[in-house]
């Protein structure tokens, strides 16, 4: 709880993974990937309840062994490639509303961000609730390559992807600062989930994380990068 607001964290982890088999429980530096998210949530000062939403028995059993609550098994229709994060979170919120347990904010946690810490989660919660006007928050990081420099092919020739005067931008420092969502933290006012259609609303607060902390594991190459960072203690 923070400033009287009850906060639910939903760790979303379905069994199927196209890029890496059993990705969520694959060991990263000797620890199952999802356990990094379990520990971050358990060490948060502000999360009133931490649950897992999953359809996979192995993930569920591991979560229970780590003291993570699993109040339901995710329905098969919410464990497909087509299922949205919003539908998964709405299912969890509806479950608790049906048993009379209410929350003010919902934190969506994806297991593929092992370097997101409890401090990141708590700072993000503070930032959103202290703002007073924002209805949601998402973690962001710097972009590695600026879209102003990107090209497209038209009739066999390169041309700018964006309509800008490239001659007017001669130095990287003159480029506008842009950010990307890194997938580590999403926070929504509950009303967005119960009455809206997306976990992010009209007024979204950013929470900045550096590139190493923002590593999102989707491929074997991402796994190798994360292993390198951990073994070389670069965080």
pTM: 0.90
Vertex 173 angle, CA 169 and 178, to 5°: 90
Q: How large a percentage of the chain has pLDDT more than 90? A: 77
End-to-end distance of the chain based on CA atoms, in angstroms?
28
pLDDT of 166 reads 58
Tell whether the model's pLDDT for residue 49 goes beyond 80.
yes
Average pLDDT over residues 209-218: 93
Tell whether the model's pLDDT for residue 42 goes beyond 70.
yes
Mind listing the pLDDT tens digit for each residue in 107-151?
999 999 999 999 999 999 999 999 999 999 999 998 877 777 688
On the 0-12 / 13-18 / 19+ scale of CB atoms within 10 A, 211 is exposed
Tell whether the model's pLDDT for residue 58 goes beyond 70.
yes
Measure the CA–CA gap between 87 and 93, rounded to whole angstroms. 10
pLDDT band of residue 164 (cuts 50, 70, 90) is low
Measure the CA–CA gap between 137 and 127, rounded to whole angstroms. 8
**Other beta carbons less than 10 A from residue 155's beta carbon:** 5
The answer to whether 47 and 7 are in contact (CB under 8 A) is yes
Instruction: Out of 3.90.550.10, 3.40.50.300, 3.30.700.30, 3.90.1010.10, select the CATH number for domain 7-141+179-231.
Output: 3.90.550.10
pLDDT of 173 reads 64
Average pLDDT over residues 25-40: 96
Tell whether the model's pLDDT for residue 183 goes beyond 80.
yes
Closest-CA residue to 73 (of 46, 92, 101) = 92
Longest dimension (CA), the chain: 61
pLDDT of 157 reads 87
The domain spans of the chain are 7-141+179-231, 144-177
């Amino acid at each position: 709880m923070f400033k009287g607001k009850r906060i639910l964290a939903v760790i979303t982890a379905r069994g199927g993974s196209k890029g890496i088999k059993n990705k969520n429980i694959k060991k990263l530096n000797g620890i199952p990937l999802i356990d990094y998210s379990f520990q971050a949530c358990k060490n948060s000062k502000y999360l009133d309840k931490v649950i897992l939403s999953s359809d996979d028995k192995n993930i569920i059993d591991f979560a229970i062994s780590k003291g993570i609550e699993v109040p339901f098994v995710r329905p098969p229709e919410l464990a497909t490639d087509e299922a949205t994060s919003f539908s998964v979170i709405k299912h969890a919120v509806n479950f608790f509303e049906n048993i009379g347990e209410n929350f003010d904010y919902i934190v969506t946690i994806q297991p593929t961000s092992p370097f997101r810490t409890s401090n990141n989660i708590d700072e993000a919660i503070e930032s959103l609730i202290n703002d007073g006007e924002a209805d949601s928050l998402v973690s962001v990081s710097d972009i590695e390559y600026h879209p102003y420099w990107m090209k497209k092919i038209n009739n066999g020739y390169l041309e700018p992807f964006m309509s800008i005067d490239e001659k007017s931008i001669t130095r990287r420092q003159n480029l506008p600062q842009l950010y990307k969502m890194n997938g580590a933290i999403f926070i929504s006012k509950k009303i967005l989930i119960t009455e809206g259609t997306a976990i992010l609303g009209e007024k979204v607060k950013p929470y900045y994380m550096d590139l190493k902390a923002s590593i999102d594991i989707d491929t074997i190459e991402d796994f190798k990068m994360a292993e390198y960072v951990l073994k070389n203690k670069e965080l």
